[in-house]
Amino acid sequence: MNKDIEIQRLFFDSIRQRLPRHISLVNEIAEVLGISYDSAYRRLRGDKDLSIEELKLLSSKYGISIDSLIGMNKADILFQPFVFGANDEGIENWLRFRILEIQRLNSAANKELIMVARDLPIYFYFDFPELAAFKIFFWKKMLLHLPDYHDKRFNIYDEPKTLIETGHHLLSAYNLIPSSEIWCYETFTRIMKQIVFCSVSGFFMHKNDSIALFDDLESLVKHMQYQTEQGFKFHVGYHPSENEEENFKVFFNDVLLIDNTAFVQRDEKKFVFMTHNSLDILITANPTFCNQVEHSLRIIMKTGNHISRTSAVECNRFFNFIYEKLEEYKKESVSPMLIL
């Protein structure tokens, strides 16, 4: 097959993977490029090359890197990156990207999400605005090293309201889909360590901010335990009935675990989302790789403990440990010594 035609085929395959199940690729291409269906078919078949302007228009709309398609062979695994922005607009786009992906998953007739959470998924923080604001502050100061944050301290009363609102929409979308999450102790202790670090480093505007955050974190942990017991995801303040459909399965495995990774089944299509540099997202639909990741995650679930819904003893054992660590780190946050 001609190299240029193969690249064009891969390009259209990448677009197809991003479209909801009910959207026709030829209709989408025709509409975006402002061409007839027949012209769109000729491009899809490889009878006509896409122009530079058409490539730019489509790659911009669907976030596809042309460079990543060049030089590939059949053994290559294509990862499409989505880079976390270095300002509020970039973070907003990152959150909206996640909303879009969840909505695409929810639109599928057959859907599944399996997630390894070495850090508690960001969705859950947005029911607790002060914790969400702290996570965003920590990202900007410690991971992105933004110049404006070099000497900036966290002000618990200064919430990025637009980001919090978008994040709340993200949580609402996530609550609707069925998901299986694999946790370890670090899933909850990582943010505890971050709060302690910022406290002893003098990164808080007020001396009691760390205590306030730990109080919020305790409320979040209680809410996570309640959802785990119910086997159902919901916003804080909602009281689920006994006949709610199970959409939240949680497994504990502190031995066999990989970095933050999500496997998605959307009808006949499979995807893997991997976190790079803590925030950036790498996405692939390579069938061999997706099948390998799916197999690994199912083994991790099988060899771990199922702690949600009908597993009250295992659930209590896990969360009792988390409450103990929370009290330890809470005391540490007001201590002059730092132990991580």
Q: What is the pLDDT along the chain (340 residues), one digit of tens a residue?
A: 455 666 787 788 778 777 776 788 899 999 999 999 899 988 888 888 888 888 888 887 877 766 555 544 444 455 555 555 556 777 888 888 889 889 989 988 999 999 999 999 999 999 999 999 999 999 889 888 888 888 999 999 888 899 999 999 999 999 999 999 999 999 999 999 999 999 999 999 988 899 999 999 999 999 999 999 999 999 999 888 878 889 999 999 988 777 889 999 998 888 998 887 667 778 888 888 899 999 999 999 999 999 998 888 999 999 999 999 999 999 988 775 444 4
Q: How far apart are CA 262 and CA 113, in angstroms?
A: 7
Q: Of 78, 74, 2, 75, nearest to 45 (Cα)?
A: 2
For the chain, the structural domain boundaries read: 3-73, 82-333
DSSP lists the bridge partners of residue 276 as: 280
Residue 301 CB contacts under 8 Å (≥ 6 apart), including other chains: 114, 180, 182, 251, 253
Place of tokens 């060049």: 70
Q: Pull the structure tokens for residue 60.
A: 């911009």
Could you tell me which CATH number the domain at 3-73 has?
A: 1.10.260
